[in-house]
Amino acid sequence: MCAASRTASNSDPAALAGGLVGPAPSSAESAKQRTGTRPGHGKSAVDSPTSGLSIDETATLAVSVDASPISWQEEMKHAFRDPNALCETLRLPEEFRRSAANVAADFPLFAPRPFVARMRAGDVHDPLLRQVLPLPAEHEMVAGFTTDPVADLAAQATPGVIRKYDGRALLVTTGACAVHCRYCFRRHFPYAEAPRGAAEWHQTLGQLAADPGLEELIFSGGDPWTLRDDQWTTLLDSATKLQQLRRIRVHTRLPVVIPQRVTRELLDSLRSCQLPIVIVLHINHAAEIDGAVAQAIEQLRSTRAQLLNQAVLLRGVNDTVESLVELSHRLLDVGVMPYYLHQLDRVAGAAHFEVPEAQARTLWSQMQRRLPGYAVPRWVRDEPGGASKRWLS
């Protein structure tokens, strides 16, 4: 799962790359509005030209999206950083502007315009908006919620290299993300200590080469695809020289929030890689998948990489069986396998997103009844010190 840090996000992610509402109400009403129909069965809301709005709601679209081509780096530069600007664009009540600005001083807002364009104006409970809007509830101190909920720091073999599970190593490639998710489990991670740049990556990979039991290298962050194409290709080429590796995994949210990130150069690097590649996307709601995202995913599939999705169960975002079922349907429509549904990592500042485990168990059981087995993601929790993710199902 890609992750943003409180430390790194105080720097501009684009530069690195080249209260009022506490616990949210159930997302049942929002799910009804955003589900849409399945492709081939009428025009889908998520397939409409307005990027997630049903046809009769197009008048509510607040964000003007330039139809002319724009690079992903430009999208990073023009992303929303000012909570006032985001709230004004989406026509949110004035009180949300004041509170969001106050909370964002601690963990900054960063929301790309292609992602914001899929949000519904005037709806403070929009499931995409809920994921990025700073809320006063983030400042509430809740027992059991910590700055390192999955014990990343204890699992660091060296700075930026996390070794939790046998045969695998996770490399924190960068602290930059293309979106700051308010529930991010690495929002407090010390990214400044992680290796960055070809020289430091070379040293780190040299250390990993000495482990004959290493089978899979995982690129994470931050988001590894905030690296420029030349930087990413250098890192990927260097990793493939580790003779013991059997595959490479990439955790990214960039093709979802800025589909333009799937460039020809990126695709070429994936096609030329000598090892199998697994790409793990992070999509929490079906409304995140509009036509541009579907096209980006199709391009990634053309490289023969395996595409999986991991979602986080989030109160006010996807905590209804309707939204979870439609997410699985939509993922399969575009060729992505629903893989994990994470119980929230209990990171400080995100308690208002937590869905009680009893409710989550009911939701997962309802998904089982409504979906074929392959479409039901594994419901898991990442527990510190565990030999693997713990299946809650």
Q: Encoding tokens for residue 42?
A: 């009428």
- CA 36/CA 43 separation, integer angstroms: 8
**3-state SS assignment for residue 36:** coil
* Residue given tokens 């059991």 in the structure block: 144
User: Is pLDDT of 26 > 50?
Assistant: no
Query: Which alpha helices (H) appear in 59-178, and where do they start and end?
Result: 72-77, 83-89, 94-104, 113-116, 127-132
Between 178 and 7, name the one with better pLDDT.
178
Handedness of CA 279, 283, 286, 290 (dihedral sign): negative
Which pLDDT value is given to residue 337? Answer: 98
Superfamily holding 1-393: Aldolase class I (3.20.20.70)
Which pLDDT value is given to residue 32? Answer: 43
Q: How many CB atoms lie within 10 A of CB 61?
A: 19
pLDDT, tens digit, 9 for 90 and up, residues 36-95: 333 333 333 333 323 333 323 333 444 554 434 689 999 999 999 999 999 999 999 998
- CA 312/CA 341 separation, integer angstroms: 6
Average pLDDT over residues 359-384: 96
The residues, ordered by sequence, that sit 6+ positions from 58 with a Cβ below 8 Å of its Cβ are 48, 50
Q: What number of CA atoms fall less than 13 Å from residue 367's CA on the CB side? A: 27
Q: How many CB atoms lie within 10 A of CB 139?
A: 14
Pick the closest to residue 183 from 323, 86, 81, 282 (CA basis).
282
Long-range own/partner contacts, residues 99-106 (CB < 8 A, 24 or more apart)? 99/19, 99/20, 99/134, 99/135, 99/136, 100/133, 100/134, 100/135, 101/134, 102/134, 102/136, 103/19, 103/134, 103/135, 103/136, 103/138, 103/139, 104/134, 106/6, 106/138, 106/139
pLDDT, tens digit, 9 for 90 and up, residues 158-201: 999 999 999 999 999 999 999 999 999 888 888 888 878 888 89
3-state helix, strand, coil in the chain (%, to 5): 40, 10, 50
pLDDT, tens digit, 9 for 90 and up, residues 101-124: 999 998 999 999 999 999 999 999
User: Is pLDDT of 301 > 60?
Assistant: yes
Q: What number of CA atoms fall less than 13 Å from residue 341's CA on the CB side? A: 28
User: Is pLDDT of 35 > 70?
Assistant: no
Which pLDDT value is given to residue 381? Answer: 94
Which pLDDT value is given to residue 16? Answer: 55
Domain borders along the chain are 1-393
* Rg of the chain over all Cα atoms, to the nearest angstrom: 20
Put the strands of the sheet holding 378-381 in their side by side order: 156-158, 161-162, 168-172, 216-220, 247-252, 277-281, 306-312, 337-342, 378-381, 390-391
- CA 357/CA 313 separation, integer angstroms: 10
- CA 227/CA 216 separation, integer angstroms: 20
- CA 367/CA 13 separation, integer angstroms: 37
- Exposure of 264 by Cβ count < 10 A (0-12 exposed, 13-18 middle, 19+ buried)? exposed
pLDDT, tens digit, 9 for 90 and up, residues 248-285: 999 999 999 999 999 999 999 999 999 999 999 999 99
Which pLDDT value is given to residue 15? Answer: 56
Determine phi and psi for 91, rounding to 5 degrees.
55, 50
Which pLDDT value is given to residue 190? Answer: 82
Q: Are 16 and 7 in contact (CB under 8 A)?
A: no
Pick the closest to residue 355 from 25, 69, 41 (CA basis).
25
- Exposure of 100 by Cβ count < 10 A (0-12 exposed, 13-18 middle, 19+ buried)? buried
Q: Encoding tokens for residue 211?
A: 């482990």
Average pLDDT over residues 13-31: 47
Query: Which alpha helices (H) appear in 18-170, and where do they start and end?
Result: 28-34, 72-77, 83-89, 94-104, 113-116, 127-132
pLDDT, tens digit, 9 for 90 and up, residues 121-167: 999 999 999 999 999 999 999 999 999 988 889 999 999 999 999 99
Which pLDDT value is given to residue 10? Answer: 42
Q: Are 272 and 236 in contact (CB under 8 A)?
A: no
Average pLDDT over residues 359-383: 97
pLDDT, tens digit, 9 for 90 and up, residues 330-348: 999 999 999 999 999 999 9
The residues, ordered by sequence, that sit 6+ positions from 275 with a Cβ below 8 Å of its Cβ are 240, 245, 246, 247, 248
Q: Running DSSP on this structure, what letter comes out for residue 167?
A: T
